[in-house]
Structure 1
Amino acid sequence: MRKIRLFIASSLDGYIARTSGEVDWLFTDQDYGYNEFSTQIDTVLMGSKTYYQVLTFGEYPYKDKKGFVFSKTVQVERDNNVEFVKENWKDFIHALRQSSGHDIWLVGGAQTIHYFMKYGFVDELILSIHPILLRNGIPLIVNDPSLETALELKDVKTYDSGLLQVSYDLKKI
């Protein structure tokens, strides 16, 4: 079965983006393991807000990956980059995990992460914690007490920039 891996960055106080969706505070001085991670996945998953935010960064960065966007409101079936998943999300995710291929990257955003966490679809969390306090923004984890999840530490990496990257397996409870 293919793993779903959440590889994401947050501020020290737990935000993945400013309220506007901007991520201008992210370090870009090195790849922080992204290139190695990218070779291990062949599929990207994200919500529609994240997808449309990614499109504002310039050329779509995941052209060599199969892409799916989860949205209940987008009316099209696909565009040049991705297919849109509008319903039967659980069935789609189960089928995708059973299909052949490499691991799957859950890119974001917060609502999509919440859904995947709620239904136990995330197998691994790789979190790059940037040494900044945003004090406001889009939280990594939506405040939902039903999302209590046990984590098993796999790895910790520190960088001279102050970035801390922690990797966890999510335990099935």
Structure 2
Amino acid sequence: MSRRLRYQVAVSLDGFIAGPNGEHDWIVMDPSIDFEALFKEFDTAVMGRKSYEVLAAQGGSGGLPGIDVVVFSRTLPAATRPGVRIVNDEPRETVAALKAEAGRDIWLYGGGALFRWLLDGGLVDSVEVAVMPVLLSAGIPLLPPGAATKLTLAHQKTLPASGIVALSYSVPGGVGPAPRIRYVKAAAKNRGGGREGS
């Protein structure tokens, strides 16, 4: 069975994944999110050059703990570093090959242009957004313009402490249903006013 390619990303309420200059300081941190559990769902991540450069600017190799990272770039030279492989290959072919390998799910880490390219190629299986309670008014969009794609809501979870709403959607023709949101600690169970989907 093919591995799922999951676009897992934080997004502002008005649809941006980063500010106008690529900033992410608007992302709300919620103590109930278990990042260790989230990272264990993946063993591979794919991203574009800009997403990689944001990670690399935070220190280290630009990788993610315990995850093999594949960076697609037309401008960076191909290279292999600990936990990171920069490739100049065609993303759709590379991702299709990765999906055919054994392993855990693949995290489509970003950005929006790579998401559009892989979505149009029929390779994205789920879209999982953590909607932040902020309006940016400008920035890098979740998805650049292109063909419309209808999604099916698979799961939802509200995190009352922060106001984050986590949504998990299946993409038509994708591998299996989108996964349930399991990276939120039990202490975040919704009480009064919060709502959790099935």
Whether the aligned pair in 1 keeps the contact of 2:63 and 2:83 (CA below 8 Å) is: no
Aligned to 1:36: 37
Q: After superposition, where does 1:19-168 map in structure 2 within 5 Å? A: 19-30=20-31, 32-59=33-60, 60=62, 62-144=64-146, 146=147, 148-160=148-160, 161-168=162-169
RMSD: 1.7
Cα distance in 1 for partners of 2:110, 2:38 equals 16
2:67, 2:83 within 8 Å by CA — same for their partners in 1? no
- After superposing on structure 2, the runs of 4+ consecutive aligned residues of structure 1 that deviate more than 6 Å are none
1:42-73 CA-partner distances (Å, limit 9, x unpaired): 00110010001011223445141111001111
Q: Alignment length, in residue pairs?
A: 171
Conserved 8 A contact 2:78-2:88:
no
CA 33–14 in structure 1, closer or farther in 2 if over 3 Å, else same: farther
- TM-superposed CA distance for 1:5, in Å, is 0.6
In our comparison, the structure showing a higher alpha carbon Rg is 2
Render the CA deviation track for 1:7-59: whole Å, top value 9, x for unaligned.
10100000000111110010124253543221111001100100010112234
What are the Cα deviations for residues 88-133 of structure 1, in whole angstroms up to 9, with x where unaligned? 3222111111111111000001111111111121101110000110
Query: Quick one: higher RCO (CA 8 Å, sep 6+), 1 or 2?
Result: 1
Structure 2 gaps of 5+ residues are: 175-198
TM score, norm. by length of structure 1: 0.91
Between the aligned partners of 1:152 and 1:73, the Cα distance in structure 2 is 36
1:165–1:89: structure 2 CA closer, same or farther, 3 Å change rule?
A: same
Distance in 2, matches of 1:89 and 1:61, equals 18
In terms of mean alpha carbon deviation, does 101-110 or 33-42 score higher?
A: 33-42
Asked whether the equivalents of residues 78 and 87 of structure 2 are also in contact (C-alpha less than 8 Å), the reply is no
Amino acid aligned to 1:155 = H
